[in-house]
Amino acid sequence: MRVRKAVIPAAGFGTRFLPATKAVPKEMLPLVDRPIIQYAVEEAVASGIEQIIIVIASGRSAIEEHFDSHPALERWLEDRGQIELLRAVRRITEVGTIAFVHQKEQLGLGHAVLMAKELVGDEPFAVMLPDDVMLNPGGTPVTGQLIEQYSAHRGSVIALHRVSREDTSRYGIVAPLREEHRLVEIGDLVEKPPPDEAPSDLAVLGRYILSPKIFDKLETTQRGAGGEIQLTDALRALAREQPVFGYRFEGVRHDAGTRLGWLKANVALSLESDEADEFRAYVRSLDLRD
């Protein structure tokens, strides 16, 4: 079955970015010229996804407004001949269907994904965590790579990346059964294990292609690490019944979910932007000695 839908959870409090995220959702913070979440939406579209389901916190409308049309702004830009900007603004609303579902209580990533159950229905779907900005310029987008693996192996597929041992406590970590080149057959998963308990150095990054069976698992998943309903715990239950694969994707991941990661992502993306030459000259001019 084709993967047509993607769920993008965007309902957290963004505590790492407070007070910036008191009124503005973290996913709306800019990375160079667009909000963080737009990178995930563009990746979804480039991967052939037709319907995007964004899970937002109740009472927060900035993300919905961002993907909605804005006739007054468009007219204003048109009247002034700002055609490039007009195109950029219109492009946002031309990404296919976007549906929004509300998460009333912040009970964790697994719970956020469960909110999309009715809209996803009985078909495989992608989950894309917008904090992980995945870029593979000139190549297949990361979600597209996972979809290819899903089609080839008929099992759920999770994006994996090797991390240093001291970082295992920041990620879901998998216990591999077998590894063949980039493909990993997963036996078990643990959410944020301390380094001495981590079953490997293969970390889950925020891209998944999931069998709809995950919803049954999420419905019975108890609160886990951090007191939250974890997607990793539901995947662990799924892996006991169905094949779950990991794929060491090709491409670069920027962690826009921490302050330092967000700053680094802005620098890296600025060095690839239209203003790269000027920005590079500025960085070179800085006195970077201690």
Q: Which of 245, 44, 251 is nearest to 157 (CA)?
A: 245
Torsion angle in degrees (nearest 10) through CA of 27, 208, 210, 242: -150
Taking the least distance from each CB to ligand G1P, the nearer of 98 and 109 is 109
Rounded Cα distance between 182 and 161, Å, is: 10
Nearer to ligand G1P, 62 or 225 (CB): 225
Residue closer to ligand G1P (CB basis): 9 or 155: 9
Give CA 162 to chain center in angstroms: 18
Q: How far apart are CA 157 and CA 126, in angstroms?
A: 9
Question: Which residues make beta-bridge pairs with 31?
Answer: 34
Interacting residues with ligand G1P between 231 and 290 (CB under 6 A)? 231-232, 257
Q: Segment contacting ligand G1P (CB under 6 A): 36-44, 68-76, 214-222, 225-233?
A: 225-233
Binder to ligand G1P among 37, 56, 109, 127 (CB under 6 A)?
109
Instruction: Output DSSP code: residue 28.
Output: G
Residue with tokens 């591999």: 176
Q: Considering the rule CB under 6 A, would residue 129 count as an interface residue with ligand G1P?
A: yes
Distance of alpha carbon 221 from alpha carbon 272, whole angstroms: 42
Cis? peptide before 30, omega within 30° of 0: no
| 260, burial (CB in 10 Å: exposed 0-12, middle 13-18, buried 19+) | exposed
Query: Binding residue for ligand G1P (CB under 6 A) from 172, 198, 211, 244?
Result: 172
In the complex with ligand G1P, the residue whose CB is nearer, 17 or 279, is: 17
Residue nearest to ligand G1P (CB): 172
Q: Which is nearer to ligand G1P, 124 or 191 (CB)?
A: 191
Among 204, 239, 256, 269, the residue binding ligand G1P under the rule CB under 6 A is: 204
Q: From the list 92, 203, 218, 269, which residue makes contact with ligand G1P (rule: CB under 6 A)?
A: 203
Q: Which residues bind ligand G1P (CB under 6 A)?
A: 109, 129, 131-132, 171-172, 191, 203-206, 230-232, 257
